[in-house]
Structure 1
Amino acid sequence: MPGQRPFPGHLDPRLLRAFLAVAEELHFTRAAARLFVAQQSLSRDIRRLERELGAELFVRTTRQVTPTVDAERLLPYARRVLEAHDALLDAFARPGGEERPLLVDVNTPGLVSSRILDRARALAPDSELMARYETGLTGAAADLLAGRLDVSFGRFAGLDPSVRARLEQRLVRYEPMAVVLPEDHHLAALDAVPLAALSGETVYAGAGNPRTLEWTDLAHHLFEGRGIKLASPAPVAVGPEEFRRIMAKWRTPVLAVVEFPAMPGSVSRPLIDPVPLSPVSLVWRKGLVHPGIDALVRASTELASEEEWLLSPRNGWIPATDALIFMPRT
């Protein structure tokens, strides 16, 4: 009908939780702390809810937050919807009220993701956070959306936009990148390898592996215009001994991160001039509620603060696609 406001066919419960927190706290900072999210993320969710409803919900000034008439009208509906949502989750909880385990893909032991998982387990000892070790956020994202996996880590900007729209993410680290070389490679004698020194080299970055498309895409951005060739698709070397054999046979440098575990017959050297960074995010399915996720978010926030994981070096580099998502606009 002319003039009729379109109403969305679906409202994400997360948006209603954001609204309820602000409506009850009447303060965005306190509401964000209550939800364990950044204030910027909370404001973004409120704006999205306002767009979807076609109504202004809060009048914000520097001193106070005041709910509008539409907010007062929405409040009882939001409470009933969230109560029903929580009741549904309780109905499918494990017998006796026991939480179901949370399945977390940490990629490889010893990486940033493993450290976050260890901290989260300490923060939530009553929750069962089970680790899975498989590489690639692209592959993990399919499992997340299908409900076969709960949480993963990786380069969020490298996912298809239609997939990103169905996932939540929290940036946890700008991770410096490295190159893994045969022990007797001419660049292995350097303490750090300038990117210019890789000009003319062919470097492996997972090409052909459908589970790690986001990593290969990162390599494309990094190698472009620097004379570095991307190695042709090849089967993935699984396990230290197979990695050693392939490295000895083909002698192809491998793009990695600085915390990549040591492999026999090879050395890892950080890349510099500029310092390429791999933005690592904690990623989970939208609408998934579990105490283990709260613990993972808190753990990543604590570690990022303690070890300055989100500080980019002066000469740091990330792809423009990632900067659009993560870097604040000035």
Structure 2
Amino acid sequence: MPAEAVTVHPAVEPRLLRSFVAAAEELHFTRAAARLYVAQQALSRDIRRLERELGCALFVRTTRQVSLTADGARLLPYARRVLQAQEELLTAFGRGGRPAGGVPRRPLLVDVNSPGLVGGRILARARELAPDDELMTRFESGLTGAAAEILAGRLDVSFGRYAGLDPAVRARLEQQPVRYEPMAVVLPADHRLAARDEVPLAALAGETVYAGAGNPRTPEWTDLARLLFEGRGIALAPPAPLAVGVEEFQRIMAKSRTPVLAVVDFPAMPGAVIRPLVDPVPLSPVSLVWRRELAHPGLEALRRAAGELAAGEGWLRRPAGGWIPAIDALVMAGRT
């Protein structure tokens, strides 16, 4: 049967399609139920009802795995379009806080990367702009890892270096440039460069600097460091286990004494100092990133908050002589 012949019965409720899409994307009913904040029994009941109304099986379920039937695979793009249209309709008519039927709109899951960074400030302002929506914080620590979660439907929004993502991944996402964030270096408090107010890049020659090499969630950051260090005599530290938590970070830095590449807003760490990098000022390009089909009033609030803060604080003004890779300049300008 051709795809054009598939029709949805007029009685089909958007909730049933939402349950189907979550199950189809997760291929795991427990994870799909958790994603929708419903009991697994309720999700299974919705799927069975949808199958009855459409008159076909949508999933093949065994004790080991869940997979889509041919009819399920055919339905998926239609269901996504119906849900997207519903989201756009509700947003257009100011129904952002309460979708049809009085059921509270699902929370928007927002990854701010790490505490204290630019994403957290934007999220705080967005909550002021959209007090009726629930914007929930997540910490993924890197845009590559967050993008995978966004495309899997387990996360909605993140922040980071958009140009560092694979082009095939970028094709499924949208972005809004937020800030050219000056970069810095975190040093042990007794490091030879710690007494300086600023650290010229040339002063790091001969040093080995950690920039997340080997962390599968942050290759976009490691690549930015590689481009920055190239030709400057700065070595990229080899892969190492990620230090999680302030105490562990402090212990590892005291033991290894390896400087860490960061941004100027990186939170203060005991036993370490943060020094801006200069001559030239290297810039970390930060974008707000979301799934292409996402429509949610919380996203609109985030975009508005990002625009307000960027305009008010000059976040998108590049300092004279500031360093940024050519591909990032093009992406931030919307040229690729």
Decide: shared fold, TM above 0.5.
yes
Q: Deviations over 1:228-253 (max 9, x none)?
A: 00000000001110001000000000
- Distance (Å, rounded) in 1 between the aligned partners of 2:195 and 2:307: 36
- Distance (Å, rounded) in 2 between the aligned partners of 1:327 and 1:94: 38
Which of 154, 157, 160 is the aligned partner of 1:151? 157
How big is the alpha-carbon RMSD for the aligned residues of Structure 1 and Structure 2?
A: 2.1
Which of 135, 139, 142 is the aligned partner of 2:145? 139
2:240 matches 1:234? yes
Query: Which residue of structure 2 aligns with residue 251 of structure 1?
Result: 257
Over 3 Å counting, the alpha-carbon distance change for 1:240 and 1:288 in structure 2 is same
Query: Which residue of structure 2 aligns with residue 167 of structure 1?
Result: 173
2:327 matches 1:321? yes
Over 3 Å counting, the alpha-carbon distance change for 1:94 and 1:147 in structure 2 is farther
- Distance (Å, rounded) in 2 between the aligned partners of 1:84 and 1:210: 32
2:63 matches 1:86? no
Over 3 Å counting, the alpha-carbon distance change for 1:84 and 1:112 in structure 2 is closer
Q: Deviations over 1:252-302 (max 9, x none)?
A: 000000000001110000000000000000000001000000000000000
Tell me if the contact between 2:84 and 2:293 (Cα under 8 Å) persists in the aligned partners: no
| Identical pairs, percent | 71
Over 3 Å counting, the alpha-carbon distance change for 1:165 and 1:246 in structure 2 is same
Tell me if the contact between 2:84 and 2:295 (Cα under 8 Å) persists in the aligned partners: no
- Distance (Å, rounded) in 2 between the aligned partners of 1:88 and 1:298: 18
Tell me if the contact between 2:185 and 2:277 (Cα under 8 Å) persists in the aligned partners: yes
2:119 matches 1:113? yes
Query: Which residue of structure 1 aligns with residue 281 of structure 2?
Result: 275
- Distance (Å, rounded) in 1 between the aligned partners of 2:171 and 2:302: 21
The Cα of 1:82 is off from its aligned counterpart by 8.2
Over 3 Å counting, the alpha-carbon distance change for 1:297 and 1:87 in structure 2 is closer
Tell me if the contact between 1:93 and 1:100 (Cα under 8 Å) persists in the aligned partners: no
2:197 matches 1:198? no
Over 3 Å counting, the alpha-carbon distance change for 1:94 and 1:198 in structure 2 is farther
Tell me if the contact between 1:136 and 1:211 (Cα under 8 Å) persists in the aligned partners: yes
SS of 1:289's equivalent?
coil
2:104 matches 1:98? yes
SS of 1:312's equivalent?
coil
- TM-score, structure 1 as length reference: 0.72
Which of 284, 290, 309 is the aligned partner of 1:284? 290
SS of 1:279's equivalent?
strand
SS of 1:275's equivalent?
coil
- Distance (Å, rounded) in 2 between the aligned partners of 1:95 and 1:216: 47
SS of 1:270's equivalent?
strand
Q: Which moved more, 1:176-185 or 1:314-323?
A: 314-323
Q: Deviations over 1:27-77 (max 9, x none)?
A: xxxxxxxxxxxxxxxxxxxxxxxxxxxxxxxxxxxxxxxxxxxxxxxxxxx
SS of 1:241's equivalent?
helix
The Cα of 1:96 is off from its aligned counterpart by 2.0
- Distance (Å, rounded) in 2 between the aligned partners of 1:327 and 1:110: 26
- Distance (Å, rounded) in 1 between the aligned partners of 2:245 and 2:160: 20
Query: Which residue of structure 2 aligns with residue 125 of structure 1?
Result: 131
- TM-score, structure 2 as length reference: 0.71
Query: Which residue of structure 2 aligns with residue 218 of structure 1?
Result: 224
Query: Which residue of structure 2 aligns with residue 303 of structure 1?
Result: 309
Q: Which moved more, 1:256-265 or 1:88-97?
A: 88-97
Over 3 Å counting, the alpha-carbon distance change for 1:186 and 1:150 in structure 2 is same
Tell me if the contact between 2:84 and 2:294 (Cα under 8 Å) persists in the aligned partners: no
Tell me if the contact between 1:94 and 1:100 (Cα under 8 Å) persists in the aligned partners: no
The Cα of 1:326 is off from its aligned counterpart by 2.1
SS of 1:313's equivalent?
coil
Over 3 Å counting, the alpha-carbon distance change for 1:289 and 1:249 in structure 2 is same
